[in-house]
Amino acid sequence: MHCPACAQRIESNLSKLDGIIEAKVNFASKEAIVRFNSDKINIDKITATVKKTGYEAGEQAEGFSAEKRRKVIKRKLTLFFIGLALTIPIAVITYFLFFPEKNLLLLALTTPVQFVVGWHFYKGAYNSLKNRFVDMNVLVALSASAAYFYSLVSTFFINAPVFYEASAVVITTITLGMLLEEMAVEKTGETIRKLMELQPKTAIIVRDGDETEVPIEEVDVGDIVIIKPGERIPVDGVVVNGHSFIDESMITGESVPVEKNIGDTIFSGTVNEAGTLKFRAVKIGKETTLAQIVRLAREVQVSKAPIQRVADKVVNFFVPIVILIAVGAFAVWFSFFQNEILALTTFVSVLVIACPCALGIATPAAIMIGVGKGAENGVLIKNSAVLEVVKELDTVVFDKTGTLTKGELEVTDIVAEDKHYVLKIAAVAEKRSEHPAGEAIVKKAESEGIKVPEPGSFEALPGLGVAVKFKQKKILLGNRALMRNYKVPIEKLEDYIERLEKEGKTVLIVAIDRKAVGLLAVSDTIKEHSKVAVKTLQEMGLKVVMLTGDTRRTGEAIAKQLGINEVLAEVLPAEKVEQIRKLQDEGRFVAMVGDGINDAPAITQANVGIAIGGGTDIAMEAGDIVLVKDDPRDVAVSIKLSKKTLQKIKQNLFWAFFYNMLTIPLAAGILYPSLGILVRPEIAAATMILSDITVVGNSMLLKRWKP
């Protein structure tokens, strides 16, 4: 594809086919994503339609191969050098040499440039007109042909100046421009291509007791895979043997290697840094985390933001208007000023300078780099339309459990004369309990090296606690009500209990033979970076709200630690959507941040849905943005990146529009003769290339963006 109109033409022709649900074509990435009804149409017919429109098409692997991209660039480079080798002598002869057969020699040198180097413009123009489109190919073919054939007539039939150098310079310069654009756009998508290349081609698996190296396609779910130090992990899995550290930076953006033990999940494309691991394959092929990240990133790169649709509509009307301006300029200079040289020069210059490439790549170039930058940092923008919505946000709602907190209870405080002993007794009492608080106590004891023996008897008392016998002693562990029932005095501990409850913690009192010996507090602890995340968002001018099913007292206690002033407490899961709707009814523009599964309806209801901690089910998550890492700080990162990408899109569109509004009148000769140099076709072609490079270069600055 040579310009955005090419993409629109393919998109239009595909959309007309019976059975096509949706067709999106991206000029910058040279890619189409097509959703279709396989009962009505197949891939062969889709590919045939693209070819009938005048383009080559291949399926995913073929279309994205590095070798194919290199061939395209090499072909354009060869054409440019052929054109340059002929255009330089054409220019020298035109401006510096004078002899009788000069025009014939210029004709001989220009003809290969016109019809060999410029053949792809003629071919593109033919396909465009055949499909009732007018694009860049038509502009270039029309301008170069006008100069060439006028010169041809002048050489043999009339005594008039020739413009062979204009034709040759236009074709050669624009071929160079397309080459530079191809190479620049190639760089905009390199992050996603690097991700695609992360998956190894083979894997070592254990079958029938033997280690066998097989192609990655032959790995099945349940296979035991062996991964050695320094190797990339081929598929997603769960460690069954070994201990190591894994570099997950290309998946999550996290630079510090992550420790992995038996039972831990590991992801395709990450690097095993230390020991040898054996793991069970859990997700393979298109289901791996890496494959899902790549798919989501590529889909959003091909998707069109609303602002791009406006640019596309402008391009549709732009080219016909430019042709009218070029014809008008020709008519004015030829009819009113009897200046046939200037008439033809302005005609060619206007057509060349107005090629709408910059307008067409303004949005996709910025989106490709922005989305790639997000993927590098574990932020997946799933819908390009969200880029324009994020700027309106004024409120960020966090679900508490699993988002701001770890989502699992931990022992936070032990109040006793002998803390070690009280912890051991509490762990014995909870050894057979299935309550989350009991599990937290046992886990805490084991982490401190305490061996937890079995109790003699165990009785769970719903709503109160537990009662057990251990070494002839009666142990009680529970709340105030349990102590009252067994007439255990707790006055000495009351101040501690009240203080811990005000902090939003659950307090469990330990009594031995009806004597209170201490207490433990358990709480769903705040994630390491939650406080910083909240503060960052507030510094960005956003209101932060916490949504929780906890009691108001507990919710407000946790919110106070985080610096959150607004709490929606005692909210049942089914009521979360209603709470988001109420905020929207107040006129707020809301982002909802949750785990993407339990909070899916609320995330969908919000103006911007952000699913945090995507893990291995990234593609399944609700929402517009998925944060791969379980880090609430990435909420601010995703908002900042979205705003920065939109800023680049707007800058690009401004420069593209401003450039055309400024240069087209100049190329038409409005300030002639004072700025007559801008009427030259070669200057027009160079200026057109400069506009493309400006837009792509401005987009490339996004690569330097840091969270």
How does pLDDT run across 495-552, given as a tens digit for each residue? 999 899 888 888 999 999 999 999 999 988 888 899 999 999 999 999 999 998 777 8
Residue 65: pLDDT band with limits 50, 70, 90: low
- For residue 491, the 8-state DSSP code is G
Paired residues of 568 in beta bridges:
547
**Cβ atoms of 269 and 232 closer than 8 Å:** yes
User: What CATH homologous superfamily does 406-525 map to?
Assistant: Calcium-transporting ATPase, cytoplasmic domain N (3.40.1110.10)
Q: Is residue 399 among the annotated active site residues? A: yes
Residue 654 burial (CB count, 10 A): 12
Is the confidence at residue 123, as pLDDT, over 50? yes
- Among 287-301, 363-377, 415-429, 441-455, the least confident range: 287-301
pLDDT digits (tens, 9 = 90+) for 553-571: 888 888 999 999 999 988 8
Q: Which CATH fold topology does 380-405+527-638 show?
A: Rossmann fold (3.40.50)
Q: Decide which of 674 and 604 is more confident.
A: 604
Residue 449 has pLDDT above 80, yes or no: yes
- What was the pLDDT predicted at 170? 87
User: Which neighbouring-strand residues pair with 512?
Assistant: 475, 515
Q: What pLDDT, in 10s, does the model give residues 471-504?
A: 888 999 998 889 999 999 999 999 999 899 888 8
State the chain's mean pLDDT as an integer: 86
Distance CA(118)–CA(141), nearest Å, equals 8
The set of residues, in sequence order, having a beta carbon less than 8 Å from that of 239 and lying 6+ positions away, is: 260, 261, 262, 263, 264, 265, 266, 277, 278, 279
Tell whether the model's pLDDT for residue 615 goes beyond 50: no
Structure token digits, residue 534: 């909240």
Average pLDDT over residues 380-407: 88
**Does residue 620 carry a pLDDT above 60?**
no
With a cut of 80, say whether residue 618 has pLDDT above it.
Answer: no
**% of the chain beyond a pLDDT of 70:** 94
pLDDT score recorded for residue 63 = 44
Q: CB count, 10 Å around CB of 92?
A: 11
CATH for the stretch 4-64: 3.30.70.100
Residue 616 has a pLDDT of 41
- 210-224, 302-316, 511-525, 600-614: segment of lowest average pLDDT: 302-316
- 457-463: Cβ within 8 A, 24+ apart: 458/431, 458/432, 458/433, 460/433, 460/435
Q: What is the rounded average pLDDT of the residues 678-692? A: 79
Of 399, 524, 624, 631, the active-site residue reads 399
pLDDT 10s digits, 632-650: 999 999 999 999 999 999 9
Among 259-273, 355-369, 565-579, name the one with the lowest average pLDDT.
Answer: 355-369
Angle between helix 102-112 and helix 66-96 axes, rounded to 10 deg: 170
Q: Evaluate if residue 596 carries a pLDDT over 60.
A: no
Report pLDDT for 622.
67
- Model pLDDT, residue 672: 86
- The reply to whether domains 4-64 and 200-287 share a CATH topology is no
pLDDT (mean) for 263-288: 90
Question: What is the model's pLDDT at position 634?
Answer: 93
Q: Is the pLDDT assigned to residue 340 strictly greater than 60? A: yes
Which overall architecture, per CATH, does domain 200-287 show?
Distorted Sandwich (2.70)
DSSP single-letter state for residue 121: H
Better-scored residue on pLDDT, 685 or 97: 97
Cα separation, 119 vs 134, whole angstroms: 17
Residue ranges per structural domain of the chain: 4-64, 200-287, 295-379+639-707, 380-405+527-638, 406-525
Cα separation of 290 and 608, whole Å? 24
Interatomic CA distance for residues 260 and 244, integer angstroms: 5
